[in-house]
Amino acid sequence: MRGLTKLTLVQMKLYLREPVAAFFTLFFAPLMLLLFGFIYGNDPVPIFGNRGMMDVSVPAYMALIIATVGLMAVPIGTASRRETGVLRRFRATPLRPTAYLISEVAVYFGMTLLGVLLLIAVGRAVYDVRFEGRLLDVIVGFALASASFLTTGYLIASLAPTARVAQVVGMIVFYPMIFLSGATIPLQVLPETVQNVARFIPLTYAVRLLQGLWFGDPWGDHLREVAALTGLLVVGGIAAARTFRWSAD
């Protein structure tokens, strides 16, 4: 137990010491918020149901952070630790593999949460964004979406033969997803074709669920989103558990 706590603390430090990962997890979304806020402001507009651009962007960017950690940090981190032999070194200690994974997932989840809290803080402080939902609902929705995408990240790491491939696959999945799901640009302002494509993109469901819960929708309005994310979590989780490798050979 002492080992697990220690490992989690060290992993947290390691995450924050990677400048790229730390920047994209913690500062990228708040900076985007400031940038788009500067351009569009936060005046209520009919297209967003009489809410402002910043109001809808904060929950959407939560999904962006979730995707950043799940689809970029997890595959690259996991595959490169497998490739260089970090995982093998831990395997040669009495540390249980599940304990290692629990600590790692806790850190990824914690970093995602930290990024989201920073985002909300900036949104509240600078644009006084509206929050009309219930805190517990948003936390549960956030946890579900985050778990689904962390799992996807582990699956990508497992399927990719090398760290380089994991990185490329992560990017190929990540970039179209963040632009076509409403995680960066609201779907409402995009053409109908894009909105149709968006239905096939898992991140769309995270954006919709988080926006819905943020503005106080009941869960009943979002069963489809919950089903999609839970499906991703379960299917991805089983596949990742079956294909996970501790060593490159």
Partner 1 sequence: MSEAIVVEDLCKSYGDVRAVDGVSFTVYTGEIFGMVGPNGAGKTTTVECVEGLRRPDRGTIRVLGFDPQRDGYALRERIGVQLQEAALPDRIRVDEAMSLFASLYPRSVDWRPLLEQVGLTDKQRSFFADLSGGQKQRLFVALALVNDPDLIFLDELTTGLDPQARRAMWDLVRGMRERGKTVFLTTHYMEEAERLCNRVAIIDHGRIVALDTPENLIRSLGAEQRVVFTADGGWDGAVLRGVPGVTRVERIGERVVVYGRGERLVGGVVGALERMGVRFRDLHTEQPSLEDVFLALTGREMRE
Contacts with partner 1 by CB under 8 A lie at 2-3, 6-7, 10, 13-14, 17-18, 81, 84-86, 88-89, 91-96
Minimum CB distance to partner 1, residue 17 (Å)? 4
Residue (96 or 164) nearer to partner 1, CB: 96
Find the shortest distance in angstroms from Cβ 84 to partner 1: 4
Q: What is the DSSP string of 82-132?
A: HHHTHHHHHHTSS--HHHHHHHHHHHHHHHHHHHHHHHHHHHHHHH-----
- Min separation Cβ 110 and partner 1, Å: 17
Phi and psi at residue 45, to the nearest 5°: -130, 150
Nearer to partner 1, 6 or 199 (CB): 6
Cβ nearer to partner 1, comparing 27 with 246: 246
Of the candidates 69, 79, 76, 78, the residue with the CA atom closest to the CA atom of residue 108: 69
- Of residues 49 and 85, the one with the C-beta less far from partner 1: 85
Instruction: Kindly state the smallest distance separating residue 150's Cβ from partner 1, in Å.
Output: 19
What tokens were used for 148?
């689904």
| Nearest CB to partner 1, comparing residues 116 and 163 | 163
The residue assigned the tokens 């989201």 is 116
Q: How far is the CB of 18 from partner 1 (least distance, A)?
A: 7
Q: Nearer to partner 1 by C-beta: 98 or 193? A: 98
CA distances from 245 to 57, 134, 164, 248 (A): 37, 40, 16, 7
CB nearer to partner 1: give 1 or 39: 1
Minimum Å gap between C-beta 88 and partner 1 is 5
Least Å distance, CB 103 to partner 1, is: 11
